[in-house]
Amino acid sequence: MTVPILETVARADLMLRCRSAVDAGARMQMAYAWFPDGPRNPEVRYVVHGGTREPLHVWRCRPGPQTMPSLAAVTPLLSWYEREITDLCGLQFEDQPQPDPLVLLPGATLSTPPLLPGVNATLSYAPAPSTLPEMGGATRDDVQSLPFGPVRADVLESAQFNFYYIGEAILHYHPQLFFKHRGMEKRFEGITPELGAVLAERVSGVGSVAHALAYCRALEAAAGCDVPPRAQWLRVLLAELERVYNHLHYLGHLCHTTTLKVGEAEGKYLEELAKQINCRAVGSRLLRGLVSPGGLRREPQLTGLAEELDKLRGEFARYAVMLEASTTHLDRLITTGVLSRKLAFDQGATGPIERASGLDRDLRRDQPYAAYPELPLKVAVREVGDAHARQQLRIAEVENSIELMQELLARLPGGTLSAQCLPPSGSEGLGWSESPRGSLYYAVHINDAGRLARVKIKSPSFSNWRVFPFTVHDSNMMDYAINEASFGLTIAGCDR
């Protein structure tokens, strides 16, 4: 298991270290605060990824009685993390370019920062209008404003999207999320590490395996335990089953937005087949209940799985050819929602979104875990960065995942499924996984009683929701739903 390098960085040196790392091609992955010595002495952690195969670095910095310097001007993707820390931990950042609250809705006030240890914050709310930038000044009566949501049609998650537009042209777009922020990180506080795995599976239902895996790997790092080889291989199987059904749903939903009805029906039919495979193998369509600290809880049912995957692969191959030959569908995808490589890097895009824009990053290969180093992993990359590239990339990932699972089943080793995993008091660990939507991190800190003191979750949708608006500005209303669908975003994965 790759072990991150933990370093202490003085507050006065933080900006210089950040500039040097970014200039050398490193990318900040996330930032969070916690309180190892009580609420008056916070510590801020930064997770830094230097590049392919380079170890992760974790910087810890104590602001003391001072505020922290904002690093958003050097690495813009940290802006949301800094604002989240201010909202939930009360720590201020100097020269933050966008100092508005992120998690708190306009008019919301907390009695105390909710992530202070041992406190229960209360929320009061006095409705207040959102403040959006003026478009051309007060005399521009041709610029219209459309606040859409938070209640939307169908069973879509709650969010409000504010559009400033002229005719069909979108001048500015601002998504207001966090209407149903569940305080998941606070829910981990004080519970047992074993129970935390059950909670992690429920942070984002469509990422149950990825969340449980990243959380358990963080605990295993804290405990220094070695997961048995058979469990490591089966963890890969579960993760790839999750990737396949997510991507099949994505393709069906993308067809829905382009009104390719047959493509929508076919994609959702294949998604249903994949979920039935999950249920027969695990007993859960969402693959819950197997991943646990130290390995797996029980053996999955593997009889006939290889044959079922082979059948799914054949049906998907036919479907993929049809998608790439449907000109009315492709006409709506090509040049829609273009995300440049530089913008993807600077703003923190992850997973299929960054790889469709030419960034060749994948934690399964770059920070290998479970049995991925022993299997023929293929990482798909596209360059164009539009909705079509994002579709093509997910098609390739479905094909690669099924091929990898078939190889895994042919070579699966025997042995036990679990090892004892008891993280000692005062320990900590960082775990990660490459979810269907991108990089997912869990940082876990254990208190003196052996329970969870702090759990930080960096989910991929938190990153990709930050990036998405940059592809909406200067686009048009007719393409908006297609562009959003092409990102494959979840609000639950962001509104933790």
**Is the sign of the CA dihedral 197, 361, 479, 97 positive or negative?**
positive
At 493, the pLDDT band (50, 70, 90 cuts) reads confident
At 132 the pLDDT is: 56
Give the lowest-confidence range in 146-155, 190-199, 386-395, 408-417: 146-155
- pLDDT (tens digit, 9 = 90+) per residue, 282-329? 999 999 999 999 999 999 999 999 999 999 999 999 999 999 999 999
Domain parsing of the chain, residue ranges: 5-125, 184-487
Give the lowest-confidence range in 92-101, 135-144, 191-200, 445-454: 135-144
At 138, the pLDDT band (50, 70, 90 cuts) reads low
Q: What is the spatial distance between Cα 494 and Cα 496, in angstroms, rounded to a whole number?
A: 6
pLDDT at residue 182 greater than cutoff 90:
no
At 135 the pLDDT is: 57
pLDDT at residue 206 greater than cutoff 90:
yes
CATH of domain 184-487: 1.10.645.10
What is the identity of the amino acid at 400? Answer: N
At 383 the pLDDT is: 96
pLDDT (mean) for 472-493: 93
pLDDT at residue 272 greater than cutoff 70:
yes
- pLDDT (tens digit, 9 = 90+) per residue, 82-130? 999 999 999 999 999 988 899 988 888 888 889 988 888 888 888 766 5
What is the identity of the amino acid at 53? Answer: R
At 129 the pLDDT is: 65
At 133, the pLDDT band (50, 70, 90 cuts) reads low
- pLDDT (tens digit, 9 = 90+) per residue, 377-389? 999 999 999 999 9
- pLDDT (tens digit, 9 = 90+) per residue, 48-90? 998 767 889 999 999 977 789 999 999 999 999 999 999 999 9
pLDDT (mean) for 380-401: 98
pLDDT at residue 1 greater than cutoff 70:
no
At 449 the pLDDT is: 94
Superfamily, domain 5-125: NADH:ubiquinone oxidoreductase Nqo5 subunit (3.30.460.80)
At 60 the pLDDT is: 96
**Mean pLDDT for all residues in the chain:** 92
